Structure 1
Amino acid sequence: MGIGCPRRSQCKIIIATSLMWIMVDFMILLYYTAPCVGPNCNKNAANDNAIRRMIDRANEWINVLPEEKKQMDIPRPVNLDAPGEMGKPVIIEPEFQEEAERLFRINEFNLMATDRIALNRSLPDVRPKGCINKPYPTNLPTTSVILIYHNEAWSTLLRNVHSIINRSPRHLLEEIILIDDASDQEHLGQKLKDYVAKLPVPVITDKLPERSGLIRARMRGAELAKGNVLTFLDSHCECTEGWLEPLLARIAEDRTISVCPVIDVISDSTFAYQHGNDPQMGGFGWSLFFKWFPVPKREQVRRKGDATMPVRSPTMAGGLFAIDKEYFEELGLYDPGYSIWGGENLELSFKLWMCGGSLEFIPCSHVGHVFRKKSPYHFPPGTNYVNKNNKRLAEVWLDEYKNFYYRISPGVAKTDPGDLTERLALRKKLNCQSFKWYLENIYPESSWPVNYKVMGEVRNMASQQCLDTMMRDPGNKVGLFGCHGQGGNQIWALTSLNELRHDEACLDVARGGPVMMLSCHQQGGNQQWMYSDKTKEIKHSSGLCLDTSEKAHDEPSVKPCNGHLSQQWELKNMTWLSPQGA
């Protein structure tokens, strides 16, 4: 008997506690499903039965939404140990390496690795700390995200789509537009249409009837878009947490700003997500090829150490950016005379800066991109489309500097650009600044000639050979070659900083060693040279003079100055402001 009473007491406590929690649950249920009350509510709503409404909503879920769509609307648990999760690399086992190498050639990235990774894989939050709690306006413009692809791999394309959906506020994402540039892979046909039809965000698919290239495919995407902002991404990207809001917020602040996310690297071999600490700045060299550069000192000062502040950039890479749709149209979209790919990023960059807009990289927005070492695609033979695009770019936007560019790239000078009437009229209508203004105010770090002392060939008086890059990259020796007077590799500039430079490469000598071409650092020292019109000597900061070499006839050297003819050089200043041959 003494044992039975405590047991009955425990039972009563358990029953009472259970009844209490049932009542709490019922009250919470009524609170969240209660009809609207008050003078502003619909009177019929007051008579609603909460339980009935719950049953009706459940029936709607079961009967209205397709089974597949219900599954895609439900977040799936992430297995952090699965391949590629949190951006970790996928390592292919030795026994599968041969097959992986064979598959690699299809898309020029590791197809076996990407196919092992979930379409909704997790990624690290790589934003600067100050970005995570940064507030954004609630009334941001909507965006249409446009992807262009040709024979893209299934997993990379759809992982891109899922990353956009999963990491974008639903009310800001108007739609995703997939423009197929005449793919012939079966998985990009009806199978893809069926798949994207089940996604919780509108995904529009449109296939071009023939291979048209990136530029015209993007024009088609812009034509179909309904969003206020156009966001262009390459087809093999992955968006990270918080990528969209900072882009749209900056455009909402000023519709004439085009913005780019910080572009992180997704390894083409392991699909590891690799992110840097700081954004870089886009620029270009003498040949108008886009290049990345560190953020210059003047921009660091303007940002005052704020890692979340946008970085002004002279140019964009062109693959990933957002722009107000109406403003893009006012700027004339892309030049419709451009073909396939190439030069369109510089054309848009020049238009933005020279015609009243601006261009920025947004540190709080990070998107990963698979950087391939070469393209797997081939275009039909015919016109050199890159030369044609660059000729149109030069004729419309470079002003007198086009003649300098043609000395660097004589092949472009001979190319027919087609009819330029409309594009020249557009520039006049937009009341754009000069290209010289752009170089002086937007891109003062440029290697293009603005304040050069001399620019032309550097001819040795003894051998009658000229300094020549020999098509070598920075980090290699400079060469000597017979003077041909065609510009190109034999154009050198003596700058106001006393550098002897070809584009981004400066002559550099360390401790009497070989004469090298190294990246210009603008700090003098080993890259400082003085030229004397009287003695024709080119004297290095070490006190040695530029000379020919007894060991190799195709490269220069430095020796103690002796006045010999081999140490005399003619710096022939070319008249690049006028057309070649004029």
Structure 2
Amino acid sequence: MRRFVYCKVVLTTSLVWVLVDVFLLLYFSECNKCDDRKDRSLLPALRAVISRSHEGPGEMGKAVNIPKDDQEKMKELFKINQFNLMASDMIALNRSLPDVRLDGCKTKVYPDDLPNTSIVIVFHNEAWSTLLRTVHSVINLDDASERDFLKKKLENYARTLEVPVRILRMEQRSGLIRARLRGAAATKGQVITFLDAHCECTVGWLEPLLARIKEDRTAVVCPIIDVISDETFEYMAGSDMTYGGFNWKLNFRWYPVPQREMDRRKGDRTLPVRTPTMAGGLFSIDKTYFEEIGSYDPGMDIWGGENLEMSFRIWQCGGSLEIVTCSHVGHVFRKATPYSFPGGTGQVINKNNRRLAEVWMDDFKDFFYIISPGVMRVDYGDVSSRKALREALKCKPFSWYLENIYPDSQIPRRYYSLGEIRNVETNQCVDNMGRKENEKVGFFNCHGMGGNQVFSYTADKEIRTDDLCLDVSRLNGPVVMLKCHHMKGNQMFEYDAERLTLLHVNSNQCLDMPSEEDKMVPTLRDCNGSRSQQWLLRNMTLSI
């Protein structure tokens, strides 16, 4: 009997210490840096952790697979938000997620006096379940949603939460950019954290962002963006070995972190990565600094281009842009947008891109205009106030940005020509034909309209079209397009301006017109001085 009582005491004591440990973990979690700390209640969060089962659909970030009998209904619901709404609705609003941080991140200790933050989420006709999984001590900004459940029902639900949530509503559809501007103006925190409306935050995501801003208020910081599958809502860790860049069309792209950045960090992958650009959906910024550097360009419409505009501005005007590798936030990546753009998607994005090109890119904007000639017809409005901002902030030129921040940019800093490559014998041009990486380059009638017939012969002796370079790996070709690797080798061509030849250095052969076997693809042959091996590299002129 005495042994039984002794065992009960031991078990009870153990359980008490487990509960204390959980309570302490919650108390020192990222939640303690949100607005209105005094109003925060930990006991409901403690109860939720204790009672939560990891056996439900999607728990620990696992995939949710819909039974065959429900596949048709699933496909119909998918069209509403362009993700698997049925799967999302099956998952708990506070589901558990795996800790995907690097081991070195899990042992980091952050200061107690981190700045507080207001979290701003803009939503437009968002799904109920994805929006509420994102909500956590935030300002929610409704960009004129039309769905009933995002009106009174959402406001009633927000009032039941243990953390303060404000819902602001735009009177009419204004788009992400202007909605974020309104949300930012309403914040009270020292730091503004922007999130998209279909995110999930993992353990310890916020402290690393705030700690970096505490060190340097001009640092604009982004988490690693993990992938939440639009098909199954499986949570998949993002890579700490990629950073943001862009191509000639001003499309944001992920590229491998270069060796120079690894060397700067001395191989410590837990240190922030200096990134040339950001994806734009998820980042934290000191509120005062956000206002000092010009917030968002209010002349931009809806969405698109604002991330590159802010990226260029931050770097050129004295700030820094970083990916904090110890912070992970999941994001549902969709293959298509469910939203309409007033005036059409292309029109809106082209206008925004023209604004950023005119203000920040100096003469390098020609790469954008030549490869996207249709953009020249788009009215981009008045940018005089943004140019005045650049002048007032004493911002550096775009050439400085390419030289110091993005030396491996897809836009070459120095180049011999930017335009067509015309064959003397046939009077036809090298053409990328809209083909993708690892496909053969084409050959077509010269049209003088830029686009697919724009190539740059660079100072590094590459023949580049956007982020692809002509590459030849064996004698006599074929000539294919591969990602530019900046290592010369198979991508090195020497142009002789007198003989008009393009010599492929590794093979010691010359670029030649297509063969009879494939009349649409230029080839390599032994150099013989013929007109078919002569090429005119012409700079295109722009009519603005």
Partner of 1:555: 521
**Is 1:320 matched up with 2:276?**
no
Residue 69 of structure 1 contacts residue 199 of structure 1 at CA under 8 Å; is this kept in 2?
no
Partner of 1:421: 384
Residue 266 of structure 1 contacts residue 371 of structure 1 at CA under 8 Å; is this kept in 2?
yes
Residue 219 of structure 1 contacts residue 333 of structure 1 at CA under 8 Å; is this kept in 2?
yes
Residue 224 of structure 2 contacts residue 239 of structure 2 at CA under 8 Å; is this kept in 1?
no
Partner of 1:493: 456
Taking a change above 3 Å as real, the CA distance of residues 399 and 467 of structure 1, as seen in their structure-2 partners, is same
Q: Give the partner amino acid of 1:88.
A: K
Partner of 1:464: 427
Matches within 5 A, 1:443-522: 443-511=406-474, 512-522=476-486
Matches within 5 A, 1:276-295: 276-295=238-257
Q: Out of 102, 114, 119, which is 1:140 matched to?
A: 114
Q: Out of 524, 528, 531, which is 1:565 matched to?
A: 531
**Is 1:546 matched up with 2:511?**
yes
Once the two structures are TM-superposed, the CA of residue 384 in structure 1 deviates from its matched residue by: 1.5
Cα distance per residue 1:482-504 (max 9 Å; x no partner): 22223222221222332211111
Taking a change above 3 Å as real, the CA distance of residues 446 and 419 of structure 1, as seen in their structure-2 partners, is same
Partner of 1:192: 154
Q: Out of 185, 200, 208, which is 1:246 matched to?
A: 208
Once the two structures are TM-superposed, the CA of residue 533 in structure 1 deviates from its matched residue by: 2.2
SS in 2 for 1:459: strand
SS in 2 for 1:247: helix
Taking a change above 3 Å as real, the CA distance of residues 514 and 196 of structure 1, as seen in their structure-2 partners, is same
**Is 1:354 matched up with 2:316?**
yes
Structure 1 stretches of 5 or more lacking a match? 1-9, 33-64, 166-174
Partner of 1:37: none
Q: Distance in 1 between matches of 2:538 and 2:366?
A: 17
Q: Give the partner amino acid of 1:316.
A: M
Q: Distance in 2 between matches of 1:71 and 1:355?
A: 45
Q: Out of 296, 299, 312, which is 2:258 matched to?
A: 296
Q: Distance in 1 between matches of 2:470 and 2:184?
A: 46
Cα distance per residue 1:524-566 (max 9 Å; x no partner): 2322222222332222221232222213333212223333222
Partner of 1:533: 497
Q: Give the partner amino acid of 2:77.
A: L
Q: Distance in 2 between matches of 1:380 and 1:431?
A: 35
Q: Give the partner amino acid of 2:197.
A: S
Q: Give the partner amino acid of 1:135.
A: V
Q: Out of 404, 429, 434, which is 1:441 matched to?
A: 404
Taking a change above 3 Å as real, the CA distance of residues 104 and 181 of structure 1, as seen in their structure-2 partners, is same
Residue 69 of structure 1 contacts residue 198 of structure 1 at CA under 8 Å; is this kept in 2?
no
More displaced stretch, 391-400 vs 140-149: 391-400
Q: Distance in 2 between matches of 1:269 and 1:464?
A: 49
Q: Distance in 1 between matches of 2:297 and 2:84?
A: 34
Partner of 2:28: none
Q: Give the partner amino acid of 2:526.
A: P
Once the two structures are TM-superposed, the CA of residue 574 in structure 1 deviates from its matched residue by: 4.2
Partner of 1:182: 144
SS in 2 for 1:441: helix
TM-score for the superposition, normalised by structure 1: 0.83
Once the two structures are TM-superposed, the CA of residue 403 in structure 1 deviates from its matched residue by: 3.4
Residue 279 of structure 1 contacts residue 361 of structure 1 at CA under 8 Å; is this kept in 2?
no
Q: Out of 231, 246, 269, which is 1:307 matched to?
A: 269
Q: Distance in 2 between matches of 1:404 and 1:160?
A: 38
Once the two structures are TM-superposed, the CA of residue 510 in structure 1 deviates from its matched residue by: 2.7
TM-score for the superposition, normalised by structure 2: 0.89
Residue 73 of structure 1 contacts residue 200 of structure 1 at CA under 8 Å; is this kept in 2?
no
Once the two structures are TM-superposed, the CA of residue 381 in structure 1 deviates from its matched residue by: 2.9
Residue 279 of structure 1 contacts residue 363 of structure 1 at CA under 8 Å; is this kept in 2?
no
Residue 61 of structure 2 contacts residue 98 of structure 2 at CA under 8 Å; is this kept in 1?
yes
Q: Give the partner amino acid of 1:152.
A: E
Partner of 1:221: 183
Q: Give the partner amino acid of 2:279.
A: A
Partner of 1:74: 47
Cα distance per residue 1:350-408 (max 9 Å; x no partner): 11111111100000000011110110111233692212111211121112223343222
SS in 2 for 1:364: strand
Q: Give the partner amino acid of 2:259.
A: K
Corresponding residue pairs, total: 512
Q: Distance in 1 between matches of 2:122 and 2:404?
A: 34
Taking a change above 3 Å as real, the CA distance of residues 439 and 301 of structure 1, as seen in their structure-2 partners, is same
SS in 1 for 2:452: helix
Q: Give the partner amino acid of 2:527.
A: C
Residue 229 of structure 1 contacts residue 322 of structure 1 at CA under 8 Å; is this kept in 2?
yes
Cα distance per residue 1:9-38 (max 9 Å; x no partner): x7xx699x79x98xx99xx9xxx9xxxxxx
Q: Give the partner amino acid of 2:251.
A: F
Structure 2 stretches of 5 or more lacking a match? 21-38
Q: Distance in 1 between matches of 2:46 and 2:187?
A: 24
Q: Could you say what the CA RMSD is over the residues aligned between the two structures, in angstroms?
A: 2.5
Taking a change above 3 Å as real, the CA distance of residues 277 and 417 of structure 1, as seen in their structure-2 partners, is closer
Matches within 5 A, 1:50-129: 74-76=47-49, 77-129=51-103
Q: Give the partner amino acid of 2:102.
A: P
Give the percent of matched residue pairs that are identical in Structure 1 and Structure 2. Answer: 56
SS in 1 for 2:429: strand
